[in-house]
Amino acid sequence: MEKVKTLRKPKVESYIDYSLVFIVLFLLAFGLVMLYSTSSYEANLDYGDSAYYFKHQLGPTLIGLGAMIFMSYFPYRILRKVAFPIYLIATGLLLLLVPFGKTINGAKRWIYIAGISIQPAEVAKFAVIVFSATLVISLKKKLLDPKGFGTMLAFPAFLSLLVYGITKNLSSAIIIMGIAVVMLFVSTPGYKRYVIAALSVLALATVIVLIVANSADSSGMNYRFKRILVWLDPAAYASGKGFQTIQALYAIGSGGIFGKGLGESMQKMGFIPEAQNDMIFSIICEELGLFGAIAVMLMFLLLIWRLMVIANNAPDMFGALLVIGVMGHIAIQVVLNIAVVTNTIPNTGITLPFISYGGSAVIVQLAEIGMALNVARNIGR
pLDDT value of residue 15: 72
d(CA 145, CA 149): 6
For 365, residues 6+ apart whose C-beta sits below 8 A from its C-beta are: 64, 329, 330, 353, 354
Tell me the three state secondary structure of residue 110.
Answer: strand
Q: Of 185, 191, 192, 135, which Cα lies nearest the Cα of 158?
A: 135
- Helix locations, the chain, DSSP H: 18-47, 52-73, 78-81, 83-100, 120-139, 146-167, 170-187, 192-213, 223-232, 243-255, 280-312, 317-341, 359-377
- Which residues, listed in sequence order, are joined to residue 116 by a DSSP beta bridge? 113
d(CA 182, CA 194): 10
Q: State phi, psi for 55 to the nearest 5 degrees.
A: -65, -40
Are the C-beta atoms of 92 and 159 separated by less than 8 Å? no
pLDDT value of residue 1: 43
- Strand residue runs (E) in the chain: 102-104, 107-113, 116-118
- Strand residue runs (E) in 94-238: 102-104, 107-113, 116-118
Residue stretches of the chain with pLDDT short of 70: 1-14, 105-106, 114-115, 216-223, 380-381
For 16, residues 6+ apart whose C-beta sits below 8 A from its C-beta are: 373, 376, 377
Tell me the three state secondary structure of residue 216.
Answer: coil
For 51, residues 6+ apart whose C-beta sits below 8 A from its C-beta are: 36, 40, 43
pLDDT value of residue 9: 52
Are the C-beta atoms of 46 and 60 separated by less than 8 Å? no
User: Sign (positive/negative) of CA torsion 328, 330, 331, 335?
Assistant: positive
Q: State phi, psi for 168 to the nearest 5 degrees.
A: 60, 25
d(CA 49, CA 41): 9
pLDDT value of residue 46: 86
Buried b (16+ CB within 10 A) or exposed e, 3-22: eeeeeeeeeeeebebeebbe
Are the C-beta atoms of 372 and 129 separated by less than 8 Å? no
d(CA 127, CA 156): 9
